[in-house]
Structure 1
């Protein structure tokens, strides 16, 4: 039974706690700001009672979260304040109320320096070292699960609803543990492919997975000036190749930090720091240096100002248009994905990115590094052998037009310390065998596939299982049924009546527009966002006849709620196809599925 309708409005009480307002809403529980005897807490109320036949076992998960927190007492980990039961019988967990920003909000509002970011991650790593030493794994580390307290600037790790500890009962029936796909280590997806036919097989989550999540968080803050925005981003956990080096997307990232992040995000878990304490020591070594590049904001504050009016969703793949644009970070102009593809390929050639047909080696991405600095710390991350670096020629200054002027960011006290920029240099990359590349092409984005020399067949989707937790999420949280249909605008950047070119292999954000049928409102109301990837089919598949655009949406966000994994497919007749792009009407109906067709 879904008891969300039973949750009390502000002003009512839960076991003596007076509800002030709702402050969080997830798949397992709803979180309220509450008061009792003048003391404020965050009260986490399980979505179901113990006896309500809940497949997600939200009651048991809340009690397991309590058990995990009882093992911990650290200044950078949220503290428990007790537990009890609501009048309806739902278990609740009272937690320390942390008034602060999420890590993403903090990065945008405070314009932290590289050193300040490292200080935060040093404390996060110390908290993880303490946590792991007591046998607790968080399993859902991400930017929204770390708060920066406003009063003292301390980071606090929150939301242990996915956590586990030594000898804890396993509550997940599906192969992968609960968590957020973007921050999963690539070996989880490799394991899933190998064991997809084994219904009872379960992935053994390890410290190496947790360390990868820390690296993914750090990468996001270093490469994205506005990490709170809903947008398509570079894939971090492809099993085929690494994301572009952080310094390739933001030249302000010091070379030594770039190398450390590259090490943490290695496809091979054995090449990451061996544990969270080793990671803390790596970060501490970088903190010992105070050269100018460590003392300036990670991103120019002007890049982090919010536009006065909501802008369009950014392109699916963000790459610099030219070497001089690296200082400005990822491109956000409306030049289109094809221009980005051409630019990436030109940068790949200029940087010496070479694929060979020799013996297979670990897949990776070119490492970008600047000229050595006399004050750079002696970090020695594993690197592949390389040919002499080739520096791209310096182009003339480029004047960007059509930029939005916004009001200055309030509350910023960070001063920028200017220092000369060092142009990045490319390094050679050893490739994979032709057979290995062909086998993995289907898992790559279009840009990555083009750079790797993949055949055009990668634009056709392969049959595969739905994302982790999608079946439970659709059945329990969303109340969706297989073959249920919804209407939506396929690409939120364009109007519902437009004919739009979709880039095969690129990410797509769809939205439910106003005026949809009322019967749909209970399941996918206006404002619901769908996140997925576009494909092109030159033959019949499923419900489509002839050439078709196929969009697989694997995440959904209802208004006022958290993202949830889903399996939702749209097939639309093709109006044309050219150079990796397919044209189709921007409105269409899709279907809920339990497996990708």
Structure 2
């Protein structure tokens, strides 16, 4: 199927999207640049993996990716703009397209200073902290899965094909989760060795694994002037040979940054930063260092690639490195060259032994090809109407780093096993029409966020605990009483005291308007106080006895002249209408402090 999809000529249609060109291909999807109604999107078409044995996993994996994306809303994380069925019968996701480079290409073409590199990784760590707070793990962080937008230099994390979230089903068949071996933490391979005879043993991916992958990315950018080239590299997760400190390989790396990278790549996960927010703070502290060392390019431009594509169209695809023609990069500055070659020889011998052992063990998930990438989002583009968003689950507790065994979950899904028709030679297998219809509505209704087009899929947002620290902030800093009500305008971007439309699943910013004649509220939530949250739709068949309602959950507040505080405030207002994923209601009322989301 992938070969046929990649050979789609410009002008071909994918569910009404006109293909401009292919953008990439990988183990889970093919990605195209598509155009419809004047809008450009990256169209990511699910690709059947031969190793899975059936089409059910193809759709289940895409549904899981879409669910994870719908639970996230962050400027440095790719956002979906729609979904549908391709003519082949496979699901596709529409993602905002942006002109830019992969992180590796950016480093080669822009010659960033060390401080600029730190700025990018600080934002990545912040996005990961946001993601982890919602119980979502990316599990395939690498240089090709981060894009740098050309227009403003903002990094965007892409490709959630391997992502997982709280209560998500495990779709892998091996001991390790899907991912790219070079970026795996060493404890994953240790787990595999220790449990090689246990067929149902599954490694529990941790935040510490994500942190290690960030360390690999940072180490590569700091020590390799041409990271896009395909050539032998030091294996940073080798348990027998710890990676060399970045400063030992590249004298331009400041000592403080070199020490941080060493701690991120520590063999003991307990010696790494405790979480991604702690990592973000350490990166921010280094970026603020006044030393001139941080304002030097990480590598002399003469050592990096020259030229390359300059127009946005050419930069949308990763460059094809001509690595075999250029092997002679200077790898080390301060070490004896002979010792370095000896280490590499030992590494290759060990690698061959490990490969032979793993081939015999048969527990490893097939490697995810490096070629898969798709463009990230451009927030300036007008969004398409989005289906109501998946309710945010309770943040998964950050357990102690390290492996654990989990019983293999039952592979189940409402997607019925498909029996593809026998296709003509050279054409991809197609699902029967009845199966396509089932995928289009009944199967997608498993994902609450896919409400548009499937009646009954707009389920009530599940209950979950308030943000961490909300109770303390409301009691100690804000002095709000339990059950206290606040008069506010629900969406400051629309007219107050009027009937307006709210997009289900969209972020809203409420505000306390002027003219509130309440001495108590004037004290604890005065005019100008801003509430940040998300809107939902609750029908009369979802536990509400009297009428459908607009529900808004606010999880953050900012009083005039004060810092932000986590909160737990809910609004429930009678809905006047619901259409195309939007709910109509009056844009004024009260919000109530609660101790748990209803």
Fold agreement, TM-score > 0.5 = yes
1:360: which partner in 2? Answer: none
CA distance, structure 1, for counterparts of residue 194 and residue 160 of structure 2:
29
Alpha-carbon deviation of 1:173?
Answer: 1.1
Alpha-carbon deviation of 1:319?
Answer: 4.5
Asked if structure 2 preserves the Cα contact closer than 8 Å seen for 1:231 and 1:314, the reply is no
CA distance, structure 2, for counterparts of residue 303 and residue 317 of structure 1:
8
Aligned-residue Cα RMSD (Å) equals 3.2
Alpha-carbon deviation of 1:159?
Answer: 0.2
Asked if structure 2 preserves the Cα contact closer than 8 Å seen for 1:24 and 1:32, the reply is yes
CA distance, structure 2, for counterparts of residue 24 and residue 217 of structure 1:
21
1:464: which partner in 2? Answer: 357
2:338: which partner in 1? Answer: 341
CA distance, structure 2, for counterparts of residue 16 and residue 138 of structure 1:
30
Tell me: CA distance 1:113–1:446, structure 2 relative to 1, closer, same or farther (3 Å): same
Residue 160 of structure 1: SS of its match in structure 2?
coil
CA distance, structure 1, for counterparts of residue 143 and residue 235 of structure 2:
16
Alpha-carbon deviation of 1:81?
Answer: 0.3
Residue 358 of structure 2: SS of its match in structure 1?
coil
Q: Cα deviation per residue 1:469-526 (whole Å; 9 max; x = unaligned)? A: 566889xx9xxxxxxxxxxxxxxxxxxxxxxxxxxxxxxxxxxxxxxxxxxxx9xxxx
Asked if structure 1 preserves the Cα contact closer than 8 Å seen for 2:137 and 2:165, the reply is yes
Residue 187 of structure 1: SS of its match in structure 2?
helix
1:286: which partner in 2? Answer: 286
2:345: which partner in 1? Answer: 446
Tell me: CA distance 1:227–1:3, structure 2 relative to 1, closer, same or farther (3 Å): closer
CA distance, structure 2, for counterparts of residue 128 and residue 160 of structure 1:
13
Alpha-carbon deviation of 1:48?
Answer: 3.4
1:211: which partner in 2? Answer: 211
CA distance, structure 1, for counterparts of residue 5 and residue 148 of structure 2:
32
2:114: which partner in 1? Answer: 114
Asked if structure 2 preserves the Cα contact closer than 8 Å seen for 1:29 and 1:47, the reply is yes
CA distance, structure 2, for counterparts of residue 94 and residue 311 of structure 1:
33
CA distance, structure 1, for counterparts of residue 118 and residue 322 of structure 2:
31
Tell me: CA distance 1:193–1:311, structure 2 relative to 1, closer, same or farther (3 Å): closer
CA distance, structure 2, for counterparts of residue 71 and residue 284 of structure 1:
26
Alpha-carbon deviation of 1:307?
Answer: 9.2
Tell me: CA distance 1:244–1:172, structure 2 relative to 1, closer, same or farther (3 Å): same
Alpha-carbon deviation of 1:54?
Answer: 2.5
How many residue pairs were aligned? 355
Q: Cα deviation per residue 1:415-435 (whole Å; 9 max; x = unaligned)? A: xxxxxxxxxxxxxxxxxxxxx
Residue 219 of structure 1: SS of its match in structure 2?
helix
CA distance, structure 1, for counterparts of residue 352 and residue 179 of structure 2:
28
Tell me: CA distance 1:23–1:461, structure 2 relative to 1, closer, same or farther (3 Å): closer
Alpha-carbon deviation of 1:223?
Answer: 0.1
Alpha-carbon deviation of 1:133?
Answer: 0.4
Confirm whether residue 5 of structure 1 aligns to residue 28 of structure 2. Answer: no
CA distance, structure 2, for counterparts of residue 77 and residue 318 of structure 1:
35
CA distance, structure 1, for counterparts of residue 350 and residue 159 of structure 2:
41
1:130: which partner in 2? Answer: 130
Tell me: CA distance 1:10–1:257, structure 2 relative to 1, closer, same or farther (3 Å): same
CA distance, structure 1, for counterparts of residue 80 and residue 68 of structure 2:
10
Asked if structure 1 preserves the Cα contact closer than 8 Å seen for 2:224 and 2:331, the reply is no
1:418: which partner in 2? Answer: none
1:81: which partner in 2? Answer: 81
| Structure whose CA Rg is larger | 2
Tell me: CA distance 1:69–1:342, structure 2 relative to 1, closer, same or farther (3 Å): closer
1:149: which partner in 2? Answer: 149
Unpaired runs of 5+ in structure 2?
309-320, 373-425, 427-598
Unpaired runs of 5+ in structure 1?
327-338, 346-443, 450-455, 478-521, 523-597
Asked if structure 2 preserves the Cα contact closer than 8 Å seen for 1:318 and 1:340, the reply is no
Kindly report which structure 2 residues correspond to 1:46-445, keeping only aligned pairs within 5 A, or say none. 46-48=46-48, 53-54=53-54, 57-306=57-306, 312=324, 319-320=331-332, 323=334, 340-342=337-339, 445=344
Asked if structure 2 preserves the Cα contact closer than 8 Å seen for 1:49 and 1:91, the reply is no
Q: Cα deviation per residue 1:155-176 (whole Å; 9 max; x = unaligned)? A: 0000000000000011001111
Residue 57 of structure 1: SS of its match in structure 2?
helix
Asked if structure 1 preserves the Cα contact closer than 8 Å seen for 2:264 and 2:272, the reply is yes
CA distance, structure 2, for counterparts of residue 215 and residue 458 of structure 1:
21
Asked if structure 2 preserves the Cα contact closer than 8 Å seen for 1:56 and 1:472, the reply is no
CA distance, structure 2, for counterparts of residue 313 and residue 98 of structure 1:
31
Asked if structure 1 preserves the Cα contact closer than 8 Å seen for 2:75 and 2:156, the reply is yes
Tell me: CA distance 1:120–1:343, structure 2 relative to 1, closer, same or farther (3 Å): closer
Residue 232 of structure 2: SS of its match in structure 1?
coil
Asked if structure 2 preserves the Cα contact closer than 8 Å seen for 1:233 and 1:318, the reply is no
CA distance, structure 1, for counterparts of residue 41 and residue 351 of structure 2:
50
Asked if structure 2 preserves the Cα contact closer than 8 Å seen for 1:232 and 1:314, the reply is no
Asked if structure 1 preserves the Cα contact closer than 8 Å seen for 2:192 and 2:363, the reply is no
